[in-house]
């Protein structure tokens, strides 16, 4: 497998196709497919009508009636990603249903078996992950139009009206805004290798510009996502069965494993983009303590394998931080610190969002509904199952401590 590395002969760095990184949308899946082949209509019909089926109380019965379908006709990466998204939506809906604490602890074999086989093929876990609901869950309304919120939609919805559309699309637009920085990585490695400070400085400032655009994209969340709907409805369908008191043993995948399995829900920590910049800039999240570092490492296993490979390839590249520290002039060190500050700004903003969308709504919950078995038993937890405020503060603090010059 090729890496973002250079052979001594050519001394060139490039991002090869097998990393599944697109020129325009970065880690997102470019132009995802929208329909499965006709043989899989039974899955599509449920996925396309989830909110109505949940509301009328028919969802679980419809899932239990599904025929056992083979995944053999799902050929090609894009089709497999669409099927993983569809089965992820169906699984979340089946487990959480109306989100009122009536939880199913066994996933029926007619869904569990094809879902687990497909997951194994893709190297993803059998749960709805960020790579599904954000990276592969979008389309343009006008194919020739721009990549803007107004010209985009999601493929599948949970209950909660447009809340899911807002949450998933704004997350995607943050990814896409930051994607232009990925293209700069080979230039950075080449500049370090050739000790070219001017090129490195310009490339680092390009990353700063991309991260600032990502922060601007993040601002759109206030316009499109309602905090009460997010906390009381959408968050439940994104919750997993790891570190979750409602499924403390995990979920039993009938016909696949004899014992329940624990998987974390979809979370921004599963996005490759921000882990990618930590690695590139030599920000050691392990310095913030074992739990944050372990969680981030665990979240890598929820990313598509091609993206995990890309992160590993950056880890094996030359150290940008060491070069800037040992050989960098004042301007280069300043450019490096601008990158770190841009990451700190994004992480500070993420903390504000979590406060608005999780912490404050949790405080507004009536006391009797705060029991651990209710849907708000995870009030200070992110969908990935972490104590989200502590985790994000730790990650931000570690990022801040990576500044070469304080202030």
pLDDT along the chain (407 residues), means of 10: 41 80 96 97 98 98 98 97 98 97 97 98 98 98 97 98 97 96 95 97 98 97 96 96 94 98 94 94 82 90 97 95 96 98 96 93 74 45 67 93 85
Quick one: pLDDT at residue 7?
A: 40
Measured distance CA(149)–CA(172) in Å, rounded: 10
* Closest-CA residue to 110 (of 124, 90, 137, 127): 90
Where helices occur in 35-152 by DSSP H, the ranges are 41-48, 50-55, 59-64, 77-96, 109-122, 130-133
> Is 91 within 8 Å of 63 (Cβ atoms)?
no
- Residue 367 has a pLDDT of 67
Burial 147-178 (b: 16+ CB within 10 A, else e): eebeebbbbbbbbbeebbbbbbbbbbbbbbbb
Torsions phi, psi of 387, nearest 5? -75, 95
Structure tokens at 47: 């996925």
pLDDT of residue 375: 43
3: left (phi over 0), alpha (psi -120 to 50) or beta: beta
What is the distance between the alpha carbons of residues 129 and 167, in angstroms, rounded to a whole number? 14
- What is the reported pTM? 0.93
Nearest CA among 51, 317, 342 for reference residue 206: 342
Domain 8-402 part of CATH 3.30.70.100: no
Contact assessment for residue 171 and residue 17, using Cβ atoms and an 8 Å cutoff = no
Distance CA 330, CA 347 (A): 26
Q: Which two tokens stand for residue 121?
A: 């093929």
Q: How far is CA 340 from the centre of its chain?
A: 21
CA distance 14 to 78: 23
pLDDT value for 1: 38
350 is in an annotated binding site: yes
Tell me, what's the pLDDT at 383? 56
- Token pair, residue 116, equals 């687990």
């Amino acid at each position: 497998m090729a890496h973002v590395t250079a052979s001594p002969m050519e001394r060139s760095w490039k991002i090869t196709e097998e990393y599944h990184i697109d020129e325009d949308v970065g880690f997102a899946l470019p132009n995802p497919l929208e329909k499965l082949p006709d043989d899989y209509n039974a899955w599509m019909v449920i996925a396309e009508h989830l909110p109505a089926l949940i509301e009328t109380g028919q969802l679980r019965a419809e899932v239990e009636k599904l025929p056992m379908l083979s995944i053999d006709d799902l050929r090609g990466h894009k089709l497999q990603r669409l099927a993983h998204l569809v089965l992820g939506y169906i699984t979340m809906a089946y487990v959480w249903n109306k989100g009122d604490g009536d939880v199913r602890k066994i996933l029926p074999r007619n869904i569990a078996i094809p879902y687990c086989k497909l997951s194994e093929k893709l190297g993803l876990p059998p749960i709805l992950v960020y790579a599904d609901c954000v990276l592969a869950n979008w389309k343009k309304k006008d194919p020739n139009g721009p990549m803007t919120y107004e010209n985009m939609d999601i493929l599948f919805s949970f209950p909660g009206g447009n809340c899911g559309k807002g949450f998933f699309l704004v997350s995607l637009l943050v990814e896409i805004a930051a994607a232009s920085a990925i293209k700069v990585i080979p230039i950075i490695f080449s500049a370090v290798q050739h000790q070219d400070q001017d090129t490195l400085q310009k490339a680092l400032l390009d990353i700063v510009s991309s991260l600032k655009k990502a922060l601007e994209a993040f601002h759109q969340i206030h316009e499109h996502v309602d905090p009460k709907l997010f906390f009381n409805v959408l968050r439940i369908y994104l919750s997993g069965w790891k570190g979750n008191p409602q499924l403390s043993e995990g979920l039993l995948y009938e016909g696949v494993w004899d014992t329940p399995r624990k998987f974390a829900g979809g979370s921004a920590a599963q996005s490759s983009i921000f882990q990618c910049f930590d690695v590139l800039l030599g920000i050691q999240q392990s310095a913030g303590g074992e739990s944050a570092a372990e969680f981030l490492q665990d979240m890598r296993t929820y990313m598509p394998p091609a993206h995990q490979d890309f992160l590993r390839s950056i880890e094996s590249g030359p150290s940008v931080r060491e070069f800037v520290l040992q050989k960098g002039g004042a301007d280069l060190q300043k450019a490096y610190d601008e990158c770190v500050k841009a990451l700190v700004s994004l992480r500070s903003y993420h903390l504000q969002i979590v406060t608005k969308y999780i912490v404050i709504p949790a405080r507004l919950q009536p006391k009797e509904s705060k029991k651990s078995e209710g849907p708000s038993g995870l009030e200070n937890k992110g969908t990935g199952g972490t104590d989200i405020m502590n985790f994000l503060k730790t990650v931000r603090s570690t990022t801040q401590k990576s500044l070469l010059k304080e202030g």
